[in-house]
Amino acid sequence: MLATGVLFTLLNAILKKVSEQLDPWVVGWLRYLLGALVMLPPVLRHGLARARPSSHRLQFMRGLFHTVGLVLWFAALPVVTLAELTAIGFSVPLFICLGAVLFLGERMSAARWAAVLVGFGGVILVVQPWQGGDFSGVSLGVLLLLGSAPLFSGSFLMAKYLTRREPSEVIVLWQHAWVSALFLPFALVRWTNPDPAQWLWLVLCGLLGAAGHYCTNRAFHAADISATQSVKFLDLVWAALLGLAMFGTIPAGWTVIGGTVILVSTLWLARRESRGT
């Protein structure tokens, strides 16, 4: 999961940069289409039968959840900072913990509930709804990101279930295939031709995205999904460094404070559970 965090944070930084030059919907579609092409060789080298999923229905549902989440995420991408993108993404593990109880039968201790509530408080610090005296302080981009979080969580919970039945590369291939198919109408409506330099960045996005999802699924193979989430919060460090290097963006104070609250609550929970308390 440490490798996943580095890969996805770098991917998000590049996607944000490319989306300033090319339509975000086109970027999103090509990122998943190219990712599917990247995953074809490792899957097909074992034969065509290897690529057959154990459940077409579940693969489709996962693709649908991920696509709707991406529609919201890419709509927010041009109008939020990289630090906001990462900090609000910290709410995804909180939804995953809840989903692990509801759908995967994991136990939800009092410590987990406390971490969820404190983590949600951290998200509120990032969002800052009090800025306008009401909820006018919440930007549309932030609301879109918050809406995408439970959808991505559902996608990852389905991926965890699929790791019990399929190899990681097959899961990643079908995810990318369904997302690229479902995302196609959005890309066609807004289509513009990438220039050669943009194509290079997009190919890199396809590689980073496929590698990130592969590492995620390998982690899900090796451990409970809730046990893999604490490392994700190091993403704030990578995002802050990349945001400063690529965009000259210094994270806002409330973004750092909120992200730190979420980080501390999650690490506290991970430490308690590692001790079995």
User: Which range, of 141-145, 167-171, 223-227, averages the lowest pLDDT?
Assistant: 223-227
Q: Are 15 and 205 in contact (CB under 8 A)?
A: yes
How does residue 226 score in pLDDT terms, banded at 50, 70 and 90? Answer: low
Q: Is the Cα torsion angle 207, 210, 214, 216 positive or negative in sign?
A: positive
Q: What pLDDT, on the 0 to 100 scale, is given for residue 247?
A: 67
In DSSP notation, 191-234 reads --PPPHHHHHHHHHHHHHHHHHHHHHHHHHHHS-TGGGSGGGGG
Q: Are 11 and 208 in contact (CB under 8 A)?
A: yes
Half-sphere exposure (Cβ direction) of 46: Cα atoms closer than 13 Å: 11
How confident is the model over 139-149, as a mean pLDDT? 86
Cα–Cα distance measured from residue 13 to residue 10, given in angstroms and rounded to the nearest whole number: 5
Q: Is the Cα torsion angle 119, 106, 69, 234 positive or negative in sign?
A: positive
How does residue 101 score in pLDDT terms, banded at 50, 70 and 90? Answer: confident
**For 244-255, how does the pLDDT look when each residue is reduced to its tens digit (9 = 90+)?**
776 677 777 877
Tokens encoding 262:
């979420």
What does the mean pLDDT of the chain come to? Answer: 81
| Rg (alpha carbons) of the chain, rounded to whole number | 18
The answer to whether residue 135 scores a pLDDT higher than 50 is no
Q: What pLDDT, on the 0 to 100 scale, is given for residue 151?
A: 94
Q: H or E stretch including 263?
A: helix 253-274
The answer to whether residue 215 scores a pLDDT higher than 60 is yes
**For 49-74, how does the pLDDT look when each residue is reduced to its tens digit (9 = 90+)?**
878 888 899 999 999 999 999 889 88
Q: pTM for the whole thing?
A: 0.78
Cα–Cα distance measured from residue 88 to residue 125, given in angstroms and rounded to the nearest whole number: 10
Q: How many C-beta neighbours within 10 Å does residue 200 have?
A: 11
Burial 36-58 (b: 16+ CB within 10 A, else e): bbbbeebbeeeeeeebebeeeeb
**For 150-208, how does the pLDDT look when each residue is reduced to its tens digit (9 = 90+)?**
999 999 999 989 988 888 899 999 999 999 999 999 899 999 999 999 999 999 999 99
Give me the residue label for tokens 């995967």.
Answer: 104
Helix 196-222 to helix 2-19 angle (10° resolution) is 150
How confident is the model over 84-89, as a mean pLDDT? 72
